[in-house]
Structure 1
């Protein structure tokens, strides 16, 4: 174990599967104690079991990040369990939209903004309070390439991820002198359950998705986890306020 990591605590929201689970596992394998959080208790507990089976230490705390009281309780229980919070990966998000802007509805708007924007804001609000008290910390938020460029038939989702980048940059500047770094990762299409839900069985569609990435494939959850761990760690000590594309070259086009 890296001695600079021993005793550090990382919190991952949306950690029941996909990018969140992969990142929770990566934090644990690097020596962090991990708080696994999600609304899916069964899958969240499964993530804890995977960490423990690999020799790591983790605990599950259920949380709906769109609810102030639940987020406050999540951070309080994290500190009560491990005494501190060094790194937070605010990854919980939803993508329930597949229509042009004029065909959207208010219920979907409120749901996406509630989790993707309010959820990140609430998490940072309570995480930063702890980090200020303990003298520093690092936060990484999950944005998206949809927060950097247009996303046809996902206008609300795209707006939510643009907002995450705005929150990230503003918090980074506000707390830079307090030893708190805040960054975001912006994945392109990643091989997750979310991608499978959004994709179709049409081989032509799959081929178009792959072709959109100059690198010639979609990404893996482990590749996003690696980026999050870099931004969270001491090697990125001079890095704050960035929205890092992890996108196979998609936004370079």
Structure 2
């Protein structure tokens, strides 16, 4: 459960039908945003998540909206941004959670080019299109501010959070396509952060390792030995819960993160601190 209060603002979340995207929508509703647009290629799933978010909403005038999106299609991305702005008047928080996982365990000499192309298009182009379209809207709107014990603090014109992976920083066998795409996401994050400095837009990334999501469940089905790998590699011997990632995303949207920009946080319980991690006892 998120313990950070926002009390205002409008969010647009892609990949909102399940996993980290859905949990982020619930957490932001609970934190007090006044409206959320939940976008996903699974429109029915987005609708169900939008309805569920209302159960947790703290803002008295909370509204939610479900929209279908194909993040690799420029027109589709522009549509969700335009629709969100038309319905709610602004976009303060943009969470780019939509993407695809590692769909092939082939090592580099055996990698299929079509697998590489699909992964790159979804995770790199899709993220770029979303960041580009949202940043343009944010740059033209007035800043959002909050009042605290120290007075008024400005959040600038918006906060963009890209959902990367621990593979944004490290590599693993048989994951060339996925690792390449997630490394590129850090490049998008840093470049967009620099390009939008004068507009007072913050762009950051979160980079979790294994998380209890449908994507991870699919990986466990495809690679049964992954469960033992996770237990051996993770200091906590388990995957992260979706709220352990979503809570940090809420933090990046909040006044608490008003001085944080262009960063990426690895959320992995310390698994990548060294080449070998002993079990926590």
- Shorter-chain TM-score: which interval? over 0.9
1:177 CA displacement: 2.9
Distance in 2 of aligned mates of 1:49 and 1:196: 24
Q: Does residue 181 of the first structure (1) align with residue 177 of the second (2)?
A: no
Indicate the SS of the match to 1:251: coil
Does structure 1 conserve the Cα–Cα contact (< 8 Å) formed by 2:69 and 2:80? yes
Counterpart for residue 12 of structure 1:
13
Would you say how many aligned residue pairs link Structure 1 and Structure 2? 251
Q: Does residue 113 of the first structure (1) align with residue 114 of the second (2)?
A: no
What RMSD in Å do the two structures reach over aligned CA positions? 1.7
1:205 CA displacement: 4.0
Does structure 2 conserve the Cα–Cα contact (< 8 Å) formed by 1:28 and 1:57? no
Cα deviations by residue, 1:14-34 (Å, 9 ceiling, x for unpaired): 010011100011011111111
Distance in 2 of aligned mates of 1:34 and 1:247: 28
Distance in 1 of aligned mates of 2:32 and 2:172: 37
Indicate the SS of the match to 2:272: helix
Gaps of 5+ in 1: none
Does structure 1 conserve the Cα–Cα contact (< 8 Å) formed by 2:210 and 2:216? yes
Distance in 2 of aligned mates of 1:115 and 1:153: 18
TM-score by length of 1: 0.94
1:202 CA displacement: 8.1
Structure (1 or 2) with the larger CA radius of gyration: 2
Distance in 2 of aligned mates of 1:141 and 1:161: 10
Distance in 1 of aligned mates of 2:212 and 2:123: 20
Counterpart for residue 124 of structure 1:
131
Distance in 1 of aligned mates of 2:50 and 2:203: 26
Alignment of 1:63-142 (within 5 A): 63-95=69-101, 96-135=103-142, 136-142=157-163
Distance in 2 of aligned mates of 1:23 and 1:205: 26
Cα deviations by residue, 1:71-121 (Å, 9 ceiling, x for unpaired): 011100000010000000001010222211222222212211111100110
Distance in 2 of aligned mates of 1:6 and 1:231: 15
Does structure 2 conserve the Cα–Cα contact (< 8 Å) formed by 1:97 and 1:157? no
Counterpart for residue 233 of structure 2:
212
Distance in 1 of aligned mates of 2:263 and 2:109: 32
Does structure 2 conserve the Cα–Cα contact (< 8 Å) formed by 1:15 and 1:44? yes
Indicate the SS of the match to 1:77: helix
Counterpart for residue 180 of structure 2:
159
Distance in 2 of aligned mates of 1:152 and 1:6: 44
Specify which of 45, 48, 60 is matched with residue 46 of structure 1.
48
Does structure 1 conserve the Cα–Cα contact (< 8 Å) formed by 2:166 and 2:266? yes
Does structure 2 conserve the Cα–Cα contact (< 8 Å) formed by 1:28 and 1:51? yes
TM-score by length of 2: 0.85
Indicate the SS of the match to 2:260: coil
Cα separation, partners in 2 of 1:99 and 1:141, compared to 1, 3 Å: same
Does structure 2 conserve the Cα–Cα contact (< 8 Å) formed by 1:9 and 1:82? yes
Distance in 1 of aligned mates of 2:36 and 2:124: 23
Counterpart for residue 191 of structure 1:
212
Gaps of 5+ in 2: 143-156, 275-281
